[in-house]
Structure 1
Amino acid sequence: MSEIAVQPTVLDVGAEQLGKIYARALLGASEAEGSTDQVIDQLNQLCDQGLAGSQSLRLAFASPQIDADEKCRVLDRLLDDAHPTLVRFLKVMAKRHRLGYVVAVRDSVTALYDEMTGRLLAEVRTAVPLTDSLRSEVTDQLGQRFGKQVRLHEVVDPALIGGMVVRVGDTVFDSSVASRLDKIGRAASAGFAHHLIANSTRFTSAT
């Protein structure tokens, strides 16, 4: 496949706008070969595991002191099992000195793809990783409430101590308040997600 075409920009636009420009290019390339789901999954892993867990890697991606060729070699070592389309795309970003914006690109890619496929993104923040059964229940209940296929973005936040926070757009369903902590253990096995969504008006709405 030829190099992914990204229109050059004269000015250094904001991260969100630049993310959308590159996101459209990546979606166009991956859709043409039917690899979008795989590419997005691997891009999420790079951002949520690789970059989130390594400050040195984040600094290397963004550093103007590290030349593009060296960044491309880092990508080859880091993504030796990744889809070739994703690797080529990231090398284009490196050569255009835009690799520091990769998280903004990921955010735009997932948002655009959700819009294209009619999926709803829900962030689920818990003190410990979700079990398969609770994940399924949260997905089903949100899908029934909003009438859309739901994609969960799971975040483990030990600071919650217990409970769960579900964010859909600007609305937050918050079950982590202190008055509910003593009910968390029983709630998970007794249809916690159903209780959470069914009683959403009792929880916090954030804008």
Structure 2
Amino acid sequence: MAELKTVARPYAKAAFDVARENNQVVEWDSMLSVFALSANDKKFSQALANPSFSAEEKAGALADVCSEVSTTEGKAFLLTLAENNRLSLLPAISALFNEFRLNSEKAVDVVVTSAFPLTTEQENTLAVSLGKKLDRTIKLSSETDASLIGGVVIRTGDLIIDGSVRGKLAKLAEAINS
């Protein structure tokens, strides 16, 4: 996965730079998401990987499938990816582009996993607290995972804060075993 991100990063950065120059960051983010979803489709991804199709045919097919969101620059971007055999990177490019967008907006997506559903008040309190700590606007989503036993796990990008009972027990077991 790290290698995928490494290869995808220059493409995502180039797309972000073009989108920012043209004041179309939100549109590009949406377009890349649709491209990524289409490229992830099992049958469509098999067709995109088929060497009997030319780069132009692959890029054109993907642009046609996504014609409602596809722009001229987006089609050129797809062609560049197809010529370099990088269409399979679209999901990673889309995710990185979204990170660049959120970073430029001083916003961050945060996923909070808890053993029990959080109340709206708890989510708001957590979002405000994290916003102050990270100096960002927080876009919070929450999940439940009963295996955590108690507490929460907070994930954003590369930052993971494990305040779960399961995590603390795992650390204790590791300390005992070493």
TM-score by length of 1: 0.57
Query: What residue is the counterpart of 2:47 in the other structure?
Result: 60
Between the aligned partners of 2:64 and 2:142, the Cα distance in structure 1 is: 27
1:78-93 equivalences under 5 Å are 78-84=65-71, 85-93=73-81
Listed one character per residue, the Cα deviations across residues 82-135 of structure 1 (whole Å, up to 9, x for unaligned) are 141323312221123211111222233223333333322323569xxxxxx68x
C-alpha separation in 2, matches of 1:99 and 1:113: 21
Deviation at 1:202, TM superposition (A): 7.8
Name which of 20, 23, 27 aligns with 1:38: 27
Among candidates 86, 89, 108, match of residue 96 of structure 2: 108
Instruction: Measure the CA separation in 2 of the matches of 1:101 and 1:155.
Output: 27
- From 136, 153, 159, the equivalent of 1:170 is 159
State the alpha-carbon separation in 2 of the partners of residues 142 and 114 from structure 1: 15
Note if contact 2:39-2:88 (Cα within 8 Å) is conserved in structure 1. no
Structure 2 portions without partners, runs of 5+: 115-119, 172-178
For 1:56, give the aligned amino acid: K
Match of 1:96 in 2: 84
User: Residues 174 and 33 from structure 1, CA distance in 2 versus in 1: closer, same or farther, beyond 3 angstroms?
Assistant: same
Q: Quick one: distance in 2 between partners of 1:165 and 1:149?
A: 19
The CA RMSD measured in Å over matched residues stands at: 4.0
- Cα 1:162–1:78 shift into 2, 3 Å: farther
Q: How many residues align?
A: 161
CA distance in 2, matches of 1:19, 1:155: 28
Change (3 A) 1:41 1:174: farther
Q: 1:176 to 1:115 in 2, by over 3 A?
A: same
Structure whose residues are more often helix by fraction: 2
**Residue in structure 2 matched with residue 10 of structure 1 by the alignment:** none
- Mapped to 2, the partners of 1:72 and 1:23 lie a distance apart of 17
Q: How far is 1:34 from its partner? A: 0.4
What SS is found at the alignment partner of 2:53?
coil
> Is the Cα–Cα contact under 8 Å of residues 39 and 87 in structure 2 kept in the other structure?
no
- Does the alignment pair 1:21 with 2:10? yes
